[in-house]
Structure 1
Amino acid sequence: MGRIGVDIYPLQSGVPLAEVETFAKFLGGSPTNVAVAASRLGRRAAVVSRTGRDPFGDYCRRALTDFGVDPRWVTEVDGAPTPVTFCEIFPPDDFPLYFYRRPKAPDLMVRAEELDLAALREARVFWMTGTGLCEEPSRGATHAALEARARSGITVFDLDWRPMFWPEGAVAAARPHYERALAGATVAVGNLAECEVATGEREPAACARALLAAGVELAVVKLGPEGVLAVHRDGREVGAPPHPVEVVNGLGAGDAFGGALCHGLLEGWELARVMRYANAAGALVAGRLACSAAMPEPAEVEALLAAAD
């Protein structure tokens, strides 16, 4: 549940956006990419969001269908254009994003009274993001979805910190909503900066402890080039190193990680295997240009893991 839009990515690497001459169009939006990643791994997935009533909105629904993701809960909004996002590509670690989401993004206009609460309750995994909490009516709808699930199944809060979507004094404004969402989630996923917004902590182990104290069962703290730390309430703790990769575009790696995380948790794998698998999926996408279209098939992930052994 959350962002959907169109990614307009340059086909020229190392070139400032003002000088790029050729682009490609892809389905985008972090939770949408997670749904595509899960679908590629064999899961049934759907997205709850909204687009403008425009050609880009039509493209998003068609792309979801092509990726095997159910688009029935992606509805149209009058008078609000489907968002587009541009990026610049400066490997290995500089990928500035430029969001065009004005006057208001349709995905922030999801309303609680329009939710299919029965479907939300029945889903084995529900994935929501911090961006969905930044404005009403999306904020109320996101909390309503969490309340409807009542911490059933796997309920994932992707901390997804995007300060440009929040008002001035963003962290202070965001933290109460993050804390409320954490109380309704069973899994929290975020990098150190995102964990700091949610908990006030910055050191990895302290972040994990704070997320568990806030109510989740599993805290997944992404550490960039140092891999990932996963800590479960039952005492299990896993530190998984990253897979080396020649980075082309790092923007979709976290979404691939998310889809693979959902897949591994649904499979009931040991925590260490889940983290290794999710790291491998992220590495594969970091080595590719696109986000949604780059999500790996199961055989690709298994081959990378086998090569690393």
Structure 2
Amino acid sequence: MIHDLITIGRISVDIYPNDIGVDLEDVTSFGKYLGGSATNVAVAAARHGRATAVVTRTGDDSFGRYLHRELKKFNVYDSFVCPVARLQTPVTFCAIKPPEDFPLYFYGRLPTAPDWQIAADELDTAAIRDARVFWSTVTGLCQEPSRGAHLAAHLARPRAALREGQHTILDLDYRPMFWDSEEDAREQVARILPHVTVAIGNDKECAVAVGVGTPDEQADRLLAAGVEIAVVKLGPEGVMAKTATERVVSAPVPVETVNGLGAGDSFGGAFVHGLLAGWPLAQILDYANAAGAIVASRLSCADAMPTPEEVTSLLADRGRLVPGTAAPGTPEAAESGAATAGVIK
């Protein structure tokens, strides 16, 4: 089986409060969800109809069994997920204080976690090589043996051997509590960047990867390191993507924020979907922006990932171009009519 997307990295049980706007000590009830950035991206892409898999590890416990059940529920291939003896499945708590305060509390990750115990000799390198998109994160580089496994996975799909339409994506996801220093993280990112075609991160993550600068300067440094598409998230100003010949900025899609934690993962899964569909870069960014906005307007992460119909409906409601349709105001749009507003071709 050739997967549209294989991700490698974090998995956890997210314990999110049902009480909104209060500190964690004041929460009276919680909900339990599948979580972890790389896993959420696989779920997000699966919601867009993509055949996805995640390479990760759980504890040999009830929470690990719960995560397998959830992966199957979301149609994410889980045969690359196995338990690690004597380690517990990580649990992540958060407080939800919209619109901008969503502190995370990681339990069961230090000094190590199951998904940091992925070893290079355990990888299905043939599956990773053949996947249309392979997605990894900077967090997976923070300690061994995960660091070596990530490098081995990238070496299994050398840039020169990638087929047309294949991509290797690095999520610049940086969590300072997992690293000794920013310099250590930058050193590890520098080892991986030559192997990837797309890098995605916000200002802080890009600064850790390639140094402080303007979004354009950071994108240019990523391109100079060998990346083909550099995506820099601009916060309230949207997102910018740059290639050797193109610069695109997508404005944000306004929504009422409930929980912003899963928006980036939803953006990632939708970005992969658009990339595989062969859409123009501007349309990929708009679609991914809308997908991220939908999750930001909901409570959970994996369970909140939108369908294509929900994304295209939001784009149409906001007067934004829906992939596969003509731009609003053009003669082509007038001819197509409202009936095509939610169609992806």
Q: Place the TM-score, normalised by the shorter chain, in its bin.
A: over 0.9
Distance in 1 (alpha carbons) for counterparts of 2:69 and 2:194: 35
Q: Using structure 1 for the length normalisation, give the TM-score.
A: 0.98
Correspondences of 1:185-200 after superposition (within 5 Å): 185-200=196-211
User: Match for 1:81 among 82, 88, 93?
Assistant: 88
Aligned pair 1:226/2:237, yes or no?
yes
Correspondences of 1:141-290 after superposition (within 5 Å): 141-151=149-159, 152=162, 153-167=166-180, 170-233=181-244, 235-290=245-300
Aligned pair 1:99/2:85, yes or no?
no
Distance in 2 (alpha carbons) for counterparts of 1:138 and 1:145: 10
Task: Give the match for residue 135 of structure 1.
Answer: 143
User: Is the partner of 2:262 in helix, strand or coil?
Assistant: helix
Aligned pair count reads 306
Aligned pair 1:122/2:122, yes or no?
no
Distance in 2 (alpha carbons) for counterparts of 1:186 and 1:280: 23
Distance in 1 (alpha carbons) for counterparts of 2:144 and 2:225: 23
Question: Which residue identity is paired with 1:145?
Answer: A
Question: Which residue identity is paired with 1:83?
Answer: P
Distance in 1 (alpha carbons) for counterparts of 2:203 and 2:313: 29
Contact 1:80 1:103 in 2 (8 A): no
Aligned pair 1:54/2:61, yes or no?
yes
Distance in 1 (alpha carbons) for counterparts of 2:18 and 2:179: 30
Q: Gaps spanning 5+ residues in structure 2: where? A: 1-7, 320-345
User: Is the partner of 2:16 in helix, strand or coil?
Assistant: strand
How far residue 103 of structure 1 moved from its aligned partner, in angstroms, is 3.9
Q: Higher Cα Rg: structure 1 or 2?
A: 2
Question: Which residue identity is paired with 1:94?
Answer: D
Distance in 2 (alpha carbons) for counterparts of 1:147 and 1:201: 28
How far residue 104 of structure 1 moved from its aligned partner, in angstroms, is 1.5
Q: Using structure 2 for the length normalisation, give the TM-score.
A: 0.88
How far residue 67 of structure 1 moved from its aligned partner, in angstroms, is 0.3
Contact 1:53 1:79 in 2 (8 A): yes
CA displacement 1:106-137 (0-9 Å, x = unmatched): 00000000000000001000000000000000
CA displacement 1:201-240 (0-9 Å, x = unmatched): 331000100100111100000011100000012x111000
Q: Runs ≥4 in structure 1, deviation > 4 angstroms?
A: none
Question: Which residue identity is paired with 1:109?
Answer: Q
Contact 1:201 1:210 in 2 (8 A): no
Identity, % of aligned positions: 59
Distance in 1 (alpha carbons) for counterparts of 2:314 and 2:257: 15
Distance in 1 (alpha carbons) for counterparts of 2:156 and 2:235: 33
User: Is the partner of 1:149 in helix, strand or coil?
Assistant: coil
Distance in 2 (alpha carbons) for counterparts of 1:102 and 1:258: 26
Task: Give the match for residue 41 of structure 2.
Answer: 34
Q: Gaps spanning 5+ residues in structure 1: where? A: none
Distance in 2 (alpha carbons) for counterparts of 1:265 and 1:272: 11
